[in-house]
Amino acid sequence: MALRTFYNEIKGMKVRELPGYLKPRLTWDYIKKSADQAVDRYIEKYIETSSVEPLFHVCIGGMIFSYLVALPHERRHLEHQQAAAAAGGGGGHH
């Protein structure tokens, strides 16, 4: 939604107008204020309504984080398997 709003705001602008539009929005104060507003909206939408969705958000976020942490190891393992198969090692496990 935020990207759609951003796109709708800039789609009618000329390229030379973009730096003047973006510069005030890329300051630390503006970013902090926007983050605070986003957290306030999240609390209002999910926490204050006693919704179970924040639990789902934590679980799904944990799974995504776990996947991203394990991804480099898995890629190294796959490359090792492929190299072993190419060398005639059969591609079996160690």
**Would you give per-residue pLDDT tens digits along the chain (94 residues)?**
678 988 998 998 999 999 999 999 999 999 999 999 999 999 999 999 989 999 999 999 999 999 999 999 999 999 999 999 998 865 555 5
Cα 54 from Cα 60, distance rounded (Å)? 10
Residue 45 lies in a domain: yes
63 and 44 within one domain = no
Sign of the C-alpha dihedral, residues 73, 79, 80, 82?
A: positive
Give the chain's end-to-end CA distance (angstroms, integer): 48
What is the pTM assigned to this prediction? Answer: 0.60
C-beta of residue 91 within 8 angstroms of C-beta of residue 85: yes
Residue 42 lies in a domain: yes
CB atoms within 10 A of CB 80: 13
36 and 60 within one domain = no
What length does the chain have? Answer: 94
Domain membership of residue 26 as a residue range? 17-50
Total number of domains constituting the chain:
2
Return the C-alpha torsion angle 25, 27, 33, 36, nearest 10.
Answer: 100
58 and 45 within one domain = no
45 and 69 within one domain = no
